[in-house]
Chains A and B, each alone.
Chain A
């Protein structure tokens, strides 16, 4: 619990804490390294990778331009199939809609697949407060639920944990030892989660893409838990961000090809679920009710802004995997559902009034690795720079502002610049001799871990 005097902990502080966690950093370096390697191999297989990325980028941009039209068409088509579409402007509305359906259906147990939107709206907290038992059924999310932590990576929620930590969590859950072998861990989780699928009155999943032409939703996964959540319980609730729409199956084809290759290095995920309405008469399985909750959550305000390309994101996590900052500190340092470069861009955009979120634009050396790898060509490091430009006036400390102003006045005059040069050449040898300079300002920060030039 925070004390009344506590100020929000900055990214820098959280990052420093993360840097002290060698075990976590080793797991992240291993995990991201592997994912980048697989992604490179999967992209290299394509003869037309550049064209595919261009196509993906155009499809996402076009979807935003036609957003109301596509969403309406999709919603009409899904409605005609017997599905229900709910529009939620913010997290409170979205959680209230889900909680209402759960209450009406009298569900005590909820089997939940992976959904970043559900994390964004803190859905589990709301449902658990209302008395339901929510079981995360994605293995990584299940581990995170046992640990009482949010996911640390968009695609691999427990990437920061090694198999020994996982074994400890599973052992505690089981009340009997689970060995630190991956197969043993998976076997235990499978048994444990099977009961949740059978007991669940409601299944909740995310949505990767909605297909306007057919009224379908598409859900990709590798564990089969998404298929269980969406077909076994009598009610399926799917959560999606309002930007996650494509016009038709041709577009979906392009997006799935990019998503699987960029996220996990697969040509296609093991399970690619295309769900077109609830169970129809005569069908053997599928839910009686299908609800899709479409979350705005600050997205519509970005559609026509300079930052609209941030909404092109397909949540592949590739930018996290290549980000040298993420590699050092992992996802939790960002203190946001979305971490890494896309998180540093999206978080301040989706939480515009939160000064702590604004700070994330600084969580980057602007190296551009994110922009280079993004399958839909979001200029992530340019967006980070744009955010800095947008917020510099409003947010930076007065001292910093005054410092840059003074610097600009000085160095816009050549004679002052020359004077600085002479002073630096004379002063540097002296400064170097003083081993420990006072720990203030930029000089102090530089000296933390580095000798002066």
Chain B
């Protein structure tokens, strides 16, 4: 935990981070929405803030945008303190969850809005807006009103509108939440490519761990107003820092301190990913160095297309889920309650420090 936090807050060089949050706190009434968050987001980084609803990730985004003022703490944008600045004074732009397109304006006027309020003359700003709409493949719809577009198209307009004013940081508040799965996956790829080609820092808020894993350079996992862990997708998935992260990101088999004690003689919770477990249907344990086996009995199956999730109740241990990619040696009815052995490599085990340690 301390290692990953340190990696998240110091860039290792003298480079000024795009966004620097220090002890950022926001209290609504009795609720501490954001609790002393320290975070450095690097230049040109695709950073995702991942967490369940109510974990404070959206509030942090709104604090960076300036829609809310923090109760305490500071926000720096490229080294300059913007904590008390109004949204129109900050060089960051937001893509809203509901897109927030102006319903009374055509697409070109929507996109040109930011240029208009900055005083750019009419022809010039409409020209720029048209180019921006072309970039998101909406060039032929410039005269339409937002109500005449589909959700995915509105999303692109919102993106074009935010990017046309060339912000230093783009904030995205669950922008793909309202799209269907196919469109969502397509937009994930497009967003990532767009970010890479523009080189702008993206801060992406999502509750979808798969989305965060596929798109991000780094991920900050939020829980109860604090950041539990910061790291690359790989680090977050392979080396979750605590039980919350292990459970929230992907599926985890958690052994509590007592169960871990009986397996490894170490009284600390541990986690193993389902794809690291192997099921021996005949019940024979693997006897190799660095491999641990436990017997148990099968309780249920979930077929997920590319594999089957097999749930096994370990004898004297937790119920675990193993991801079995190959075909099962029999029907579900034949296999349920069958005594099996579950094995895993010891280096697949991640030790999870209990909270507060």
| A, B co-complexed | no
* Interface residues in chain A, defined as those with a beta carbon under 8 Å from any beta carbon in chain B: none
